[in-house]
A and B are shown apart, each in its own frame.
Chain A
Amino acid sequence: MAKLNPFKNKDVILIKDFTRDDLFYLFQKADKIERMPERDRICLLNGKILGYLFFEPSTRTRLSFEAAMLWLGGRTLGFAEPKVSSVEKGESLADTIRTVENYVDVIVMRHSKDGAASFAAEIASKPLINGGSGTEEHPTQAMLDLYTIIKEKGSIDNLKIGLLGDLKYGRTVYSLLYGLSKFNVEVKLISHPILRVRREIFFDLEKKVKISEHDNLEEILPDLDVLYVTRIQKERFPDLSEYERVKSSYNVNLKILQKAKDDLIILHPFPRIDEISPEVDSSPHAKYFKQMLNGRILRSALLASILDVPF
C-alpha cells in the first residue's frame, strides 16, 4: 500500500512538526527523484510556480530553491532582497503575503525576524516553506543535513554527532537539534561559553536526546562520527565587541583532523569564513559540497510532495 503523503499542502515551518516517518518518506522521494530519467523529471512541476520572498538576502538558499523548482520543470518568481520590494516602502508582511499568494502555488520565505514564518503561514492560504526565520529555525536545511548523514553513513541512529561554532544564534543548529532528537544519537555541543545554545533546547530536548556541552574540540574530536561546523554570524551579535572576542575560536584543519576517526564526515551549512581551512576540502572527511547538491535534490522532493504530484 502506498504511504499517504504527509507533506501534501503542508506548511513547513518547524522541523518539530514532522515525525521520523515523515522524514523517511521525504528521503525516499528524494532518492527517487535523483534516479528519475530527465524526460520524466522535468515534467513533474510543469505549470507550477514557486514564489520566493527573501526579506533577508541569502543567495545560497534562494538559488537552491530556485534550482530545485527549475529542475522539475517549474517556474519561480519573487524578490531576492527587500530593497527591490514594496517592503522597503513600509508594506506589512501580512500584505506582502496576501499579494504574492495570488500569483503562485507555493511560497518560500526568508526573514530576519524570529517567528516571521509562523506568522506568515497563518496569513497565507497557499503552503509556505520557512527558508530561515530569525535565529529560530531553518527546517529544510536540517532535512538536507539529515539526508546527507543517512546517505553517507547509512543511518543516523547510534552516531556521535558534534555541533561546533555559533550555537546561540545559528538557526541551522536549532533545526538540526530538533531533527536529531527524532533519532537515537549522542550530541556534543562544542562552542565558546558565550555561544552556548539557548535554554529552549534543554527544555524541549533534555529527555529526548543525550546532549553535553564542551569547549575543547580536540578533546571531543576522536569520538565523533559527524562534525557539523557553523559560521560565527557577525550580523546576529547585538554587541560587536562580543563578536570580536569569539570570531576565530575554532579552526578545523588537517592537523587537528589527524585525531579524528577515518570515517568522520564534516558538514557545514555554508557560507564559511575561516572555521574550516580550504585544505580540508579535498580530504575524504569533507562532505559539505555534496551536502549542497543533496539540498537541491531534497528541496525538489519537498516541493513535489507539497504540491502532491504523483511520482
Chain B
Amino acid sequence: MSEKELIVQKIVEGTVIDHIEAGKALHVLSVLGISGEEGKVITIAMNVPSKKYGKKDIIKIENAYLSPEITNKISLISPHTTVNIIKNYKVVEKRAIEIPDEFVGIFKCPNPNCITNSEETMATKFYVPSKNPPLLRCKYCGRIYSPNEVM
C-alpha cells in the first residue's frame, strides 16, 4: 500500500497522527492513554513506506479531537510526528508536534517522595531542560528523568 492510498482513505471526523517513527504506534497510543476500550474506531498502520523517512506508522482515531497538550506528549518518543484534525473530510488543522518548554498536569512524578504525589489538588509540572535528547525535570522535587521514566 502506498502512502498516497492511505491518506486517500480519509476519515470523516477525527484525528490522524502521521509520520510516527516506524514501529512506535502502539507506544504512542499508550502514551496518549488510549486503550481501545473507549469504543472509538481506531485504525493503526505500521511500517508503511514513506518517502521522507523510509518507513512510518499512522494512527487514525475517528470522532475524537486531540488537543496540543495531549499530542505534544508524542514529541518525547517520536519527534517528527504531525497531527491532522479532520472535520467533514477536510483537514481543518495540521500541526507539527513540538517539544514544549514545560508539561503541566500531564505526567506523574516517578519520585514517590515528591510532594506532587501526596497533595491531591496539585498539578504536576515538568520543565524540559534539554530537548535533544529530551529530558524532563520536576519543578517541585527537582529530579531529572528521561521520557520513558515518566511515561
Per-position binary interface string of chain B over residues 92-130, scored 1 when its CB falls under 8 Å from any chain A CB and 0 otherwise: 000000000000000000010111101111100000010
Per-position binary interface string of chain B over residues 114-151, scored 1 when its CB falls under 8 Å from any chain A CB and 0 otherwise: 11101111100000010000000111111110000000
Give the A-B pair count, Cβ closer than 8 A: 57
Per-position binary interface string of chain A over residues 154-190, scored 1 when its CB falls under 8 Å from any chain B CB and 0 otherwise: 0000000000000000000000000000000000000
Interface check A258, CB cutoff 8 A = no
**List of B residues within 8 angstroms of A94 by Cβ:** 119, 121-122
**List of A residues within 8 angstroms of B121 by Cβ:** 92, 94
Known: A115-B138, A118-B140, A119-B140. A93 touches B129 (CB 8 A): no
The B interface, classified by DSSP as helix, strand, loop or mixed, is loop
In the complex the two chains form, is B142's CB within 8 Å of A113's CB?
Answer: no
Interface check A135, CB cutoff 8 A = yes
The A interface, classified by DSSP as helix, strand, loop or mixed, is mixed
B111's nearest neighbour on chain A, judged by CB, is A114
In the complex the two chains form, is A134's CB within 8 Å of B119's CB?
Answer: no
In the complex the two chains form, is A115's CB within 8 Å of B141's CB?
Answer: yes
Distance to closest chain B CB from A265 (angstroms): 29
In the complex the two chains form, is A111's CB within 8 Å of B115's CB?
Answer: yes
In the complex the two chains form, is B140's CB within 8 Å of A92's CB?
Answer: no
Distance to closest chain B CB from A249 (angstroms): 23
Interface check A239, CB cutoff 8 A = no
Interface check A76, CB cutoff 8 A = no
Distance to closest chain A CB from B148 (angstroms): 16
Interface check A245, CB cutoff 8 A = no
Distance to closest chain A CB from B85 (angstroms): 34
In the complex the two chains form, is B144's CB within 8 Å of A200's CB?
Answer: yes
In the complex the two chains form, is B144's CB within 8 Å of A114's CB?
Answer: no
Known: A92-B121, A94-B121, A203-B129. A113 touches B113 (CB 8 A): yes
Interface check A198, CB cutoff 8 A = yes
Those of A187-210 within 8 Å (CB) of chain B: 198-200, 203
Interface check A264, CB cutoff 8 A = no
- A111–B116 CA distance with the chains assembled, in angstroms: 13
In the complex the two chains form, is A114's CB within 8 Å of B113's CB?
Answer: yes
In the complex the two chains form, is B129's CB within 8 Å of A114's CB?
Answer: no
Distance to closest chain A CB from B129 (angstroms): 7
- A118–B122 CA distance with the chains assembled, in angstroms: 12
B138's nearest neighbour on chain A, judged by CB, is A115
In the complex the two chains form, is A114's CB within 8 Å of B115's CB?
Answer: yes
- A116–B137 CA distance with the chains assembled, in angstroms: 16
Interface check A136, CB cutoff 8 A = yes
- A113–B144 CA distance with the chains assembled, in angstroms: 17
Known: A114-B143, A200-B143. A92 touches B120 (CB 8 A): yes
In the complex the two chains form, is A200's CB within 8 Å of B142's CB?
Answer: yes
Distance to closest chain B CB from A16 (angstroms): 9
In the complex the two chains form, is B113's CB within 8 Å of A93's CB?
Answer: no
The interface of chain A, by Cβ under 8 A from chain B, is 92-94, 111-116, 118-119, 133-137, 198-200, 203
The interface of chain B, by Cβ under 8 A from chain A, is 111, 113-116, 118-122, 129, 137-144
14 further contact pairs, Cβ within 8 A, besides A94-B119, A115-B141, A134-B113 = A92-B120, A92-B121, A113-B114, A114-B111, A115-B142, A116-B140, A118-B140, A119-B115, A119-B116, A119-B122, A198-B143, A199-B144, A200-B144, A203-B129
